[in-house]
Structure 1
Amino acid sequence: MASSLRLLAVADYVVHKNVTAFRRQLSEAAALRITLLERFDGGEAISPSYVSMMTYKPLLGALAANNEAVAQTLASRMGGREAIEREYDRVFERAFGLCLKSILAKDASTAQGAMQAFEHACKQRGNVDFQGYAYALRCIVNNESHLLQEAFEEIIAGHRRQSVRRGLFHQTEDEMLCVWGVGVANLAQWNGLPAPAPSALLPGDLVQ
């Protein structure tokens, strides 16, 4: 259901320019993941894959929805399940998730360590198209507004490369909209940095 909500969110924006529907449906998708985490912690038989640091993806959705309350709640419940994370996550997922979690928690010390791991992961084969996210999160952590636009240009360039054959976003709704980039742009603004210049994949009405 969460994946359907995400698809509908992007479709409502791309076809109808409906910002309200886009944000509502992404918020609902993130809220579903919160419910799964709570049910797992309560002892229900939920697949461990749903409570790994792959939760960074619905967290980026909550950020793209500009819903700080849902993002904070989801971030506070993700992580801390080391055995599950070792089984289901790569360093890339663990580091990306921990970066987002620590930035939302204003935990500068953890954020710095997570950033180093994420930057290293993004230099590895298969991850280089996501280096723009490492650059942007580093700008947020270090409050480097003068470098932020360049980071988002790299995000968009990497997104386009990942939208062709065999890319992560190929034949998905993300071909039409850089949802992750919208999320990180909103996170930057929550931390006092400027919005990136608008583009077709990163529309101004979603980040300003």
Structure 2
Amino acid sequence: MLDALAVGRFDLADRFATLLRGRESLDRSQVHKFDRMIAYSLLAVLGHDPNSADHTANFIDYCSAKGNQSYTGYAVALDAIRQRDSQLLLDGLNAIIKSHRRLASSGIFNLKADELLCVWGLAICNLARHKGLKLDFDHELIPATLMETV
């Protein structure tokens, strides 16, 4: 879903969300807990889950635990979109940028392209704009020139 959002394909992200909603496979033990948490939060923000506050709050709690703190910005930003809170969104985006450099050198974002662009951060920005939030944000890792104008 995040890749679809990063390129502004909200229709495709919505179709992914429709396919994931209510799938028992999301709750199976072989799906990493982080993947479940971010998926449920995205489903909630995209409007595919009535328990949106629970899912974003659970994701924030999960990211607050030791070993997961590099992803707190994503949880905060998704909750900010759900709450329609532009200042909280900026806080989340700044946390994403701060942790992205570390993750790009040794974490899950360890490809050369990730050193130049924070694709998931771009996805969050596009989702926020798509949901009607005012967003004045520009960073070399998330350039405003790549954001969707809605």
The one-letter code sitting in structure 2 at the alignment partner of 1:62 is A
Match of 1:99 in 2: 41
Distance 1:60 1:98 in 2: 13
- State how 1:66-81 maps to structure 2 within 5 Å: 66-81=8-23
Match of 1:190 in 2: 130
Distance 1:119 1:84 in 2: 19
| Large movers: runs of 4+ above 3 Å | none
Structure 1 residues 194 and 86: alpha-carbon distance in aligned structure 2, compared to 1, 3 A threshold: same
Q: Verify: 1:86 aligned to 2:28, yes or no.
A: yes
Equivalent position SS for 2:104: coil
The one-letter code sitting in structure 2 at the alignment partner of 1:189 is R
The one-letter code sitting in structure 2 at the alignment partner of 1:60 is L
| Higher share of residues assigned helix | 1
Match of 1:116 in 2: 57
Match of 1:179 in 2: 119
Q: Verify: 1:148 aligned to 2:114, yes or no.
A: no
Instruction: Report the aligned-residue RMSD.
Output: 1.7
- State how 1:160-171 maps to structure 2 within 5 Å: 160-165=101-106, 167-171=107-111
Equivalent position SS for 2:37: helix
How big is the shift at 1:88?
2.0
TM-superposition CA deviations, 1:118-140 (whole Å, max 9, x none): 01110123211110011111111
Equivalent residue for 2:72, pick from 125, 131, 153: 131
How big is the shift at 1:196?
4.3
**Could you tell me the TM-score, scaled by structure 1's length?**
0.66
The one-letter code sitting in structure 2 at the alignment partner of 1:120 is D
Q: Which runs of 5+ in 2 are unaligned?
A: none
Distance 1:62 1:191 in 2: 15
The alignment covers a number of residue pairs equal to: 148
Distance 2:21 2:48 in 1: 16
Equivalent position SS for 1:147: helix
Alignment check: 8 A CA contact 1:163 1:169 kept = yes
Distance 1:75 1:65 in 2: 16
Q: How many percent of aligned residue pairs carry the same amino acid?
A: 34
Distance 1:121 1:80 in 2: 21
Match of 2:146 in 1: 206
The one-letter code sitting in structure 2 at the alignment partner of 1:121 is Y
